């Protein structure tokens, strides 16, 4: 997989910490590989919305990648509950179902962005950069030690 | 079944396989089937409810599923590994999710349920009640079949509503 300029947290230059929420183990593994190529660290995983809420509270990640269609509790409800408790949460929806209504509902509940499956690593990288930069976190060091973009 | 409902599934399978496996899928057969669904390989089903209701089964040759799993996980995969049915499930989720998104853009509203791996017993039950459209695709890794059962919910409801005659 293509390697990207590492995305790090502006405040301490540490890897960006991710919580990956998807009922498919394969989808979680696939996203974890992309995160690794972005220089990030997966600090938690969840297979449904309920577990996502407890994992968020436990791990306090910088970014949540959240599926929509899941058993027990769907992603949009989980977003609402997480953002109610943690308004600073940065959640990116990752779903194969890209209805306008779903996207709007997720954004209204507090999600920061949406990306449709199958996920292109380049697209996800740019979205994460956008979402992180929006909250003062950036990608300071490129592979060659230069300032990245 | 109307072609406008089928077309998104053809385009979606082609697009998803092109992105996930970097290889095109060629449609080689389209057929209607009234008998019960018979699993050909590894299968996963996605159900949707709303203005259009139904289910779509994605069914892959086992060797194709193993090849896809190996390609996507970046390592050789044993056919018995749980990742293989997981991959079929996720491919079904992506193909069907993308197709129903296109249908939604055309004004149809529905809700998609999470994908499920189909067991032999579930396969027997899956095709007992309706006529299915079968789409067969050929890829470099093997065959992929989509078994689609869909009906308009609103029309069915209208047909069952009693009409008063004066």
Residues facing residue A92 across a β-bridge: A65, A113
The answer to whether ipTM exceeds 0.90 is no
Q: Are A110 and A80 in contact (CB under 8 A)?
A: yes
For residue B45, the model assigns a pLDDT of: 92
pTM: 0.84
Please give the interface size between A and B, counted as residue pairs whose CB atoms are below 8 Å apart: 63
Residue B159 has pLDDT above 80, yes or no: no
Least Cα separation, residue A136 to chain B (angstroms):
32
B29 backbone dihedrals φ, ψ, rounded to 5°: -160, 145
Domain ranges (residues) in chain B: 3-158
Q: How many domains does chain A have?
A: 1
Q: Cβ separation of A26 and B86 shorter than 8 Å?
A: yes
The mean per-residue pLDDT over the stretch B50-68 comes to 88
Q: Please, are residues B60 and B142 in contact by the beta-carbon 8 Å criterion?
A: yes
Chain A interface includes B52 (CB < 8 A): no
Whether the pLDDT of residue B92 is over 80: the answer is yes
Tell me, what's the pLDDT at A82? 98
The pLDDT of B80-107, averaged and rounded, is 90
Report if residue A92 sits inside a domain.
Answer: yes
Please tell me if residue A30 touches chain B, with a CB cutoff of 8 Å.
yes
Is A53 within the bounds of a domain? Answer: yes
HSE at residue B100, side-chain half, CA atoms within 13 A, is: 31
The series of mean pLDDT values per 10 residues for chain A, 149 residues long, is 86 93 92 94 97 98 95 93 97 93 94 95 94 66 41
Q: Do B101 and A23 touch (CB under 8 A)?
A: no
Q: How far is B52 from chain A (nearest CA, A)?
A: 15
Please report whether residue A101 resides in a domain: yes
- Assess whether pLDDT exceeds 80 at residue B8: yes
Six-digit token pair at A101?
């209504």
- Kindly determine whether residue A25 and residue B83, on different chains, have CB atoms separated by under 8 Å: yes
Residue B137: band (very low, low, confident or very high) from pLDDT cuts 50, 70, 90? very high
A146 part of a folded domain: no
Q: Please count the CA atoms within 13 angstroms of the CA of B98 that sit on its side-chain side.
A: 22
Q: What is the pLDDT of residue A94?
A: 97
Is position A11 within any domain? no
B80-87: long-range contacts (C-beta < 8 A, 24 or more apart)?
B82/A25, B83/A25, B83/A26, B83/A29, B84/B42, B85/B42, B85/B44, B85/B117, B86/A24, B86/A25, B86/A26, B87/A26
Query: Is B123 within 8 Å of B43 (Cβ atoms)?
Result: yes
Q: How many CB atoms lie within 10 A of CB B38?
A: 13
Q: Output the DSSP codes for A80-120.
A: HHHHHH-TT--EEEEES---HHHHHHHHHHT--EEEESSPP
Q: What is the pLDDT of residue A145?
A: 37
Residue B41 confidence class, pLDDT cut points 50, 70, 90: confident
pLDDT at residue A144 in the model: 38
* Span B86-98, average pLDDT: 92
Residue A95's CATH number = 3.40.50.2300
Q: Which fold has domain B3-158?
A: Chemotaxis protein chec (3.40.1550)
Dihedral pair phi/psi, residue B121, rounded to 5°: -65, -40
pLDDT for residue B32 is more than 90: no
**A118 upstream amide cis, omega within 30 of 0:** yes
Q: Which domain does A23 fall in, by range?
A: 17-134
Average model confidence (pLDDT) across chain B: 82
Is residue A148 included in any domain, yes or no? no
pLDDT tens for residues B113-132?
888 888 766 666 655 556 88
Residue A103 lies in a domain: yes
Interface-testing mutation among B101, B103, B116, with chain A (most A C-beta atoms within 10 A): B101
Q: Cβ contact (<8 Å) for A96 and B83?
A: no
Contact between chains at A69 and B113 (C-beta distance less than 8 A): yes
Q: What is the pLDDT of residue B36?
A: 66
Residue B119's pLDDT is: 73
* Closest CA of chain A from B165, distance in Å: 40
Q: Please check whether residue A46 is in contact with residue A29, taking contact to mean a CB–CB distance below 8 angstroms.
A: no
What string of DSSP letters covers B30-94? EEEE-SPP---SEEEEEEEEESEEEEEEEEE-HHHHHHHHHHHHTS---TTSTHHHHHHHHHHHH
Q: What is the mean pLDDT of residues B31-47?
A: 82
CB contact under 8 A, B93 and A69: yes
**Measured between CB atoms, which of B83, B94, B104 is closest to A96?**
B94
The pLDDT of residue B67 is above 90: no
SS3 A67: coil
| Residue of A25, A95, A100 lying closest to B86 (CB–CB) | A25
Instruction: Tell me what percent of the residues of chain B surpass a pLDDT of 70.
Output: 84
CA B92 to chain CA centroid, nearest Å: 6
Chain B, window 54-83: residues with a beta carbon less than 8 angstroms from a chain A beta carbon: 69, 72-74, 82-83
pLDDT at B60 over 80: yes
Contacts of A70 in chain B (CB under 8 A): 114
């Amino acid at each position: 997989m293509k390697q990207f300029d590492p995305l790090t947290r502006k405040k301490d230059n540490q890897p960006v910490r991710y919580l990956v929420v998807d009922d498919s183990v394969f989808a979680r593994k696939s996203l974890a590989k992309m995160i690794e190529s972005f220089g990030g660290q997966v600090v938690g995983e969840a297979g449904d919305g309920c577990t996502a809420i407890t994992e968020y509270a436990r791990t306090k990640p910088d970014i949540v990648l959240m599926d929509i269609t899941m058993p027990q509790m769907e992603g949009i409800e989980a977003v609402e509950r997480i953002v109610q408790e943690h308004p600073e949460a940065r959640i990116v929806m990752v779903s194969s179902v890209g209805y306008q209504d779903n996207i709007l509902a997720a954004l209204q509940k507090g999600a920061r962005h949406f990306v449709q499956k199958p996920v292109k690593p380049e697209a996800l990288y740019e979205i994460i950069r956008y979402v992180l930069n929006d909250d003062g976190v950036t990608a300071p060091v490129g592979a060659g030690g230069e300032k990245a973009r | 079944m109307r072609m406008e409902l089928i077309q998104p599934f053809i385009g979606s399978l082609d697009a998803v396989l092109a992105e996930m496996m970097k290889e095109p899928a060629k449609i080689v057969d389209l057929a209607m089937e009234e008998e019960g669904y018979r699993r050909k390989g590894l299968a996963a089903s996605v159900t949707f409810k709303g203005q259009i209701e139904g289910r779509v089964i994605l069914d892959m040759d086992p060797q194709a599923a193993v090849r896809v799993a190996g390609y996507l996980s970046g390592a050789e995969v044993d056919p018995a590994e749980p990742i293989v049915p997981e991959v079929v499930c996720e491919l079904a989720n992506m193909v069907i999710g993308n197709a129903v998104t296109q249908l939604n853009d055309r004004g149809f509203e529905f809700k998609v349920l999470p994908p499920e791996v189909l067991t032999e017993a579930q396969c027997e039950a899956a095709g007992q009640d309706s006529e299915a459209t079968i789409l067969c695709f050929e890829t470099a890794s093997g065959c992929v079949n989509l078994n689609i059962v869909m009906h308009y919910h609103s029309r069915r409801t209208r047909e069952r509503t009693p009409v008063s005659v004066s």
